[in-house]
Amino acid sequence: MAETARQILGRLGERLALEHYERLGFRLLERNCRTRAGEIDLVVCDGVTTVFAEVKTRHDGGLDPLVSITAVKRRRMRSLAAAWLVEHPARPYTPALRIDAVAVLVDGRGVLVSLEQVEDVA
């Protein structure tokens, strides 16, 4: 099945967000992880903090990607993180857990325009 333009854009944003976290010293634990509560875009860890990241990607000039992180979405993100922790008992232990939102803006050619990481959104 062919990917839609929206899926391609989302995958690009997740790749750019992951590269951002890797520059910060995080390593990928899981990508597009499905739990019984839904899907987590990225789970990354730096040995001190495990981060559950919701990535929102838009074309430059459109709506702010962070607008879609509503109170309902933040509650769902907490449920997703809790489900992931239960379903992955062999995960690396970290003393801190965090839920982030990452807003990625790209131009019409898919080139990064801006990336904003907001920590502790949920």
How many structural domains are present in the chain?
A: 1
Tokens describing residue 10? 């989302």
CATH number at residue 12: 3.40.1350.10
Percent of the chain with pLDDT over 70: 98
In the predicted structure, residue 61 carries a pLDDT above the cut 90 = no
pLDDT score at 28: 98
For residue 67, the tally of other CB atoms under 10 A from its CB is 10
Percent of the chain with pLDDT over 90: 74
Beta bridge partners of 54: 101
pLDDT digits (tens, 9 = 90+) for 73-109: 899 999 999 999 999 999 999 999 999 999 999 998 8
